[in-house]
Amino acid sequence: MKTEINWEDKVRRVERLLRLKSFPVAFRLLENPHDLDNIPFMRRLGKPLTICQMINLVRNFDWTVGAERKDILFDQCSSIVGLSELPDIYKDGTFRSIVWVKNRKDARKYQESIPTIPTGRYRALAMAPLVYNPFDPDMILIYANPAQMILTINALQFEDYQVMEFYCVGESSCSDAIARCYLTGKPSLTIPCYGERRYGHAQDDELVMALRPKDFLKALKGLEDLYRRGVRYPISYAGAEMDLTSTFPPAYWSLHRVDEIRGDDGRVVVGLTGGIASGKTTVCDMFQNLGAHKVDFDLLARRVVEPGKPAWKDIVSYFGRQVLQEDESIDRKKLSDIVFRDIEKRKKLESFTHPRIHEEFLKELREIASNNKNPIIIVDIPLLIELNMQYLFHKNILVYIPSEVQIKRLMERDKIDEEHAKRILKAQLPLDDKTGYVDYVIKNDGSLEDTRKQVDTIWDELLSFQRKLTDL
């Protein structure tokens, strides 16, 4: 079916990143029950059923199912999704007191705490595996174990952080997931209830989260951002008996080096990044003309893996001679192909190179700072954001150009065709995604003069920042 968003690729990416065991469920309420007939592969069970049974048929059997009020077994189920009013025998506590609580007083309290979608608007509901683009969903249900769920929460919190609140009314977990998400518009996490385990076949270790489509996309983006920072599912264990410092992400162990990098001698250290051919070198040159000192991180990274150096030895002993060229230098393409496919190997490679690059980097900074009073040091790091290094610097700058201009400049500079240029760009983090991480964005799609003016303004701000720093 033609849907507003093409979900197939997005669902597959979430499934891969979380290794989900069952299909994410597209959930939709319909004002007109006849619209059920327009949904491809729609099945009506023809016997009374529960909401959790429907969810089970979708996520584990990959069915597309629909129901009207008359198809649903319990008034409680249909009232949660807004298809019917709750009869008095439920409201006065009788129903809940039959099994789940001691008396009708507790039962009324229980009943009142169950969120429900208001009645009057909807007369049917449909559910289907989201991956098939069955319809535009009101919300999406994900079933996952607690480790997968904490990653999903981390992913949702990656940008515009919000604490994840958790609700559990007890039985009727569909109210905590579906109705609460509908009413609050926020991702709603809960524990599948006894009924959902017995009739919906939710597994012992499963949790459920209902999300609006925009939050599903936010979770996907966050999962991909976290993956790039080395956080992924399954979560690999670090041994209880080990010295754990060696297993922390590089960003953790380098935290205490922030002071070493920034120094206390009046220097200002600025990270500068961009994408391929966005103009990093051009902008760096402009800063140098104003008096800045430059450190090229790529050069440092190449220097530490020269044949015979300690990082080179570690790489060869771990990856073997297969990653060497005839002249004994590292075959960067081959090595990057290996670590691109395997995040654990990437972490291993980084554990060989990063500490050495840091040492070189500190050496270079010390040298500049001891030969120059109050230097402003621009560090050109193409992968600043990807390696999550922006926290190391006093300030960060992004040299930005729209992707069409980037493609054009890349084609002209490297004499390649459009398709090739697009392929290179596709493998990089889009510049639009980098803007949120930096203090300054230099727009370099205009004339060189336009860029120079922006560089001049930032230079003045860096000088005034430095004055404040040295006054302290």
444 contacts ligand ATP (rule: CB under 6 A): yes
- In the bound state with ligand ATP, the residue whose beta carbon lies nearer, of 33 and 274, is 274
66 contacts ligand ATP (rule: CB under 6 A): no
Q: Judged by CB under 6 A, which of 22, 172, 173, 278 binds ligand ATP?
A: 278
Which H, E and C letters describe the chain, residue by residue?
Answer: CCCCCCHHHHHHHHHHHHCCCCCCEEEEEECCHHHHHHCCCEECCCCCECHHHHHHHHHHHCCEEEEEHHHECCHHHHHHCCCCCCCHHHHCCHHHHHHCCCCHHHHHHHHHCCCCCCCCCCCEEEEEEHHHCCCCCCEEEEEECHHHHHHHHHHHHCCCCCCCCECCCCCCHHHHHHHHHHHHCCCEEECCCHHHHHCCCCCCCCEEEEECHHHHHHHHHHHHHHHHCCCCCCCCCCCCCCCHHHHCCHHHHCHHHHHHHHCCCCCEEEEEECCCCCCHHHHHHHHHHHCCEEEEHHHHHHHHCCCCCHHHHHHHHHHCHHHECCCCCECHHHHHHHHHHCHHHHHHHHHHHHHHHHHHHHHHHHHHHHHCCCCEEEEECCCCCCCCCHHHCCEEEEEECCHHHHHHHHHHHHCCCHHHHHHHHHCCCCHHHHHHHCCEEEECCCCHHHHHHHHHHHHHHHHHHHHHHHHC
Q: Judged by CB under 6 A, which of 451, 455, 458, 462 binds ligand ATP?
A: 451
Strands 376-380, 293-296: pairing kind: parallel
Whole-number Å distance between alpha carbons of 122 and 201: 27
- In the bound state with ligand ATP, the residue whose beta carbon lies nearer, of 209 and 295, is 295
271 contacts ligand ATP (rule: CB under 6 A): no
Min dist CB 269 to ligand ATP, Å, is 19
Contacting ligand ATP within 311-370 (CB under 6 A): none
Which residue intervals of 185-249 are DSSP H helices? Answer: 194-198, 213-228
Stretch that binds ligand ATP, among 177-185, 195-203, 278-286, 429-437 (CB under 6 A): 278-286
Min dist CB 172 to ligand ATP, Å, is 56
**DSSP H or E run through 400:** strand 395-400
438 contacts ligand ATP (rule: CB under 6 A): no
The CA radius of gyration of the chain, in Å to the nearest whole number, is 28
Q: Tell me the number of residues near ligand ATP by CB under 6 A.
A: 14
Min dist CB 414 to ligand ATP, Å, is 8
Min dist CB 429 to ligand ATP, Å, is 13
453 contacts ligand ATP (rule: CB under 6 A): no
454 contacts ligand ATP (rule: CB under 6 A): no
Strand order, beta sheet including 440-443:
293-296, 376-380, 268-273, 395-400, 440-443
Min dist CB 442 to ligand ATP, Å, is 10
In total, the chain counts a number of residues equal to 472
Q: Judged by CB under 6 A, which of 195, 213, 375, 382 binds ligand ATP?
A: 382
129 contacts ligand ATP (rule: CB under 6 A): no
Min dist CB 303 to ligand ATP, Å, is 17
276 contacts ligand ATP (rule: CB under 6 A): yes
137 contacts ligand ATP (rule: CB under 6 A): no
Which residue intervals of 323-395 are DSSP H helices? Answer: 332-341, 343-371
448 contacts ligand ATP (rule: CB under 6 A): yes
425 contacts ligand ATP (rule: CB under 6 A): no
Q: Judged by CB under 6 A, which of 28, 96, 108, 280 binds ligand ATP?
A: 280
The amino acid occupying position 215 is D
List residues bridging with 26 in a β-sheet: 128, 140
213 contacts ligand ATP (rule: CB under 6 A): no
Stretch that binds ligand ATP, among 25-33, 228-236, 274-282, 421-429 (CB under 6 A): 274-282
Q: Judged by CB under 6 A, which of 28, 274, 431, 440 binds ligand ATP?
A: 274
273 contacts ligand ATP (rule: CB under 6 A): no
Q: Judged by CB under 6 A, which of 60, 113, 247, 282 binds ligand ATP?
A: 282
- In the bound state with ligand ATP, the residue whose beta carbon lies nearer, of 11 and 438, is 438
Q: Judged by CB under 6 A, which of 69, 218, 395, 409 binds ligand ATP?
A: 409
- In the bound state with ligand ATP, the residue whose beta carbon lies nearer, of 218 and 280, is 280
Min dist CB 431 to ligand ATP, Å, is 10
279 contacts ligand ATP (rule: CB under 6 A): yes
413 contacts ligand ATP (rule: CB under 6 A): yes
Whole-number Å distance between alpha carbons of 278 and 409: 8
Stretch that binds ligand ATP, among 121-129, 187-195, 204-212, 270-278 (CB under 6 A): 270-278
277 contacts ligand ATP (rule: CB under 6 A): yes
403 contacts ligand ATP (rule: CB under 6 A): no
Q: List residues near ligand ATP by CB under 6 A.
A: 274, 276-282, 382, 409, 413, 444, 448, 451
